[in-house]
Chains A and B, each alone.
Chain A
Amino acid sequence: MPALLEGRGLTVRFGGLTALKSVDLAVGAGEVLSVIGPNGAGKTTLFNVITGRVRPTTGSVLLRGEAIERLAPFRIAQRGVVRTFQKTEVFGGLSLLDGVAAGALAHDDPDPGARAREALSTVGLQNKAELTALQLSYGDQRLLELAQALAAQPAVLLLDEPASGMNHQECTHIMRLIGELRARGLAIVLVEHNMHVVMNISDRVVVINYGEKIAEGRPEAVRADRRVIEAYLGVEQPAVDAGPR
């Protein structure tokens, strides 16, 4: 599958700290790529580099083969790389309809209202369009974030822990939505700690530890990788043998 979005040799240093160390990744249209790793591994930094919020020290980000790592965040979004955030970001004081229309307005959509309704309908919030974002439950706010991103007509969607804090039913809904978006041909990069979600919807998984890619492959292969188990998934400790009395 040809890559829609590629990161090549991405390295980010903050003073003496190396947040990312020569990370490569690629995702194609209609593919879900999950990025997993312990807290502080560099997953959100990777998203920040791809979306232009942080410039890589070395390396490049290519969208359809064109370098975008020096562009401003709004230009990258206009070209089709749109993200959600780890901490929910919504237009709190505005109605859902007005907030979701933001992405459509950014693309000079002739009918931002219709685009916003369509996005709200996709995530199942169409009946709450006149409420303000702050009137929604946490789970609905996460769905609203997804609707905001969809109205911006992304080709590549970066989802930062979309299932975080959600119950089982909400996680299932999110997984179904991500599946639908993949079927529409979106390239999806997912950062997620919920292994049930990751293992069930990912086409490929990239594992990062201390800013370095330590594994990449299909979910079942990654799950069995010894380095991944040691670094992230954990090793089952044998029961301590107290020995003969």
Chain B
Amino acid sequence: MSDTGRQRLATAAVCVALFAVPLVVHDEYYLHLFIVSGVFVVAVLGLDLIVGYVGQLSLAHAAFFAIGAYTSALLFVRLQWTMWLGLPSAALFTGLVALALGSVILRTRGHRFIIITVVFAELMRLVATNWVDVTRGFMGLPGLQVPKLYLPGLGAINIASKERFYYVVLVAAVLAYFACRAIVRSSIGRKFVLIRENEPLAESLGISAFRYSMIAFVAGAALAGAAGSLYAHYVGFVSPDLFNFSYVTIMLIMVILGGKGTLLGPALGAVLFTFLPELLREASHWRMIIFATILIVATLFMPRGIIFPLVEHLVPRRWRVRNAGAA
């Protein structure tokens, strides 16, 4: 079979497997983990555009996720906008926030950029905590609902159950993946990589580092906002806890140890690092020690991330599709 044929077969097998998850997995808890990992896939694909493709370490991503969650929640609570309107609005608003922030901070690089993104995230947490009239502070915004889905010929379908909401998240993750793939395969994506590899040289040849970093920053933030909206409606509640630093830490682990600068790596990293801490629960109080050890070992010895070296080790060479890096 040709490489293209094998690639199509592998893609079809993955699609069938993803579609079959709710039919095979009946445990509510594991379905919950699949849904959360799908939400993280959307968010970390956005983070990968900034960290993996342009090479800027942004620590504001969890804040963008939370801004998207709050935007969608407030539109639902104040204006009764359902998730179908709330999600694109959250993505748009978060993108605009990133545009405003980026116009200031994308002229900086290195540690200054990192520090400003941390300060921005903390500032947003303080706003969510203290602007009580709007956000209800620590009490958060409860009662968010999953809307019905109207399909021609089928009428209104209730998608509030985990089995059905899984498909909503799956569609969102697949759309996010193909949107990012279209970007990174275009001339825009090639310019991202050139900026990451040697920014002064790219500028000296006529590529605006500011402009293309901004495109990645805004697109990445919009995806985080969309993921935040999905998450808010799925759990039904938002609070300032969403701004916790632990969220951006886990997203960075998903991107970097998944394989930054590829799309498949961080997507698989999102699934792996959502499930791993939960699967390690069997180890009781040793859980976080084992998890931390895995992270340290992977960081030290697997600079390309965990996913691709693992695939190369486990899958026979003749089965592997050439040019897998393009994924």
Contact = CB atoms under 8 A, between A and B. Distances in A.
Interface of A: 51, 72-75, 77-78, 82-83, 85, 89-94, 98-99, 101-103, 105-108, 112, 148-149, 151-152
Interface stretch (B74-82, B122-130, B200-208): B200-208
B190 interface: yes
A94 B197 contact: yes
Contact of A91 (B198, B203, B208, B209): B198
Nearest to B206: A106
Contacts of A77: 203-206
Closest 7 CB pairs of A and B: A106-B206, A77-B206, A91-B197, A78-B206, A103-B205, A89-B201, A74-B208
Contacts of B2: none
21 contacts: A73-B204, A74-B203, A74-B204, A82-B205, A89-B200, A89-B204, A90-B201, A91-B194, A91-B197, A94-B193, A94-B194, A99-B194, A102-B202, A102-B205, A102-B207, A103-B206, A105-B187, A105-B191, A105-B194, A106-B207, A149-B205
Nearest to B188: A105
Contacts of A151: 205
Interface of B: 187, 190-191, 193-194, 197-198, 200-209
Contacts of B194: 91, 94, 99, 102, 105
B201 A107 contact: no
Contacts, number: 73
B193 A106 contact: no
Contacts of A72: 203, 208
B272 to A, nearest CB: 25
Contact of B190 (A82, A90, A93, A101): A101
A82 B198 contact: no
A45 to B, nearest CB: 15
Contact of A105 (B197, B201, B207): B207
A190 B191 CA distance: 28
A225 B193 CA distance: 49
Contacts of B209: 74
A101 B198 CA distance: 14
B191 to A, nearest CB: 6
A108 B187 contact: yes
> For B190, B193, B203, B204, which residue has the most chain A Cβ atoms within 10 angstroms?
B204
A90 B194 CA distance: 10
Contacts of A152: 205-206
A149 B203 CA distance: 12
B198 A90 contact: yes
Contacts of A51: 204
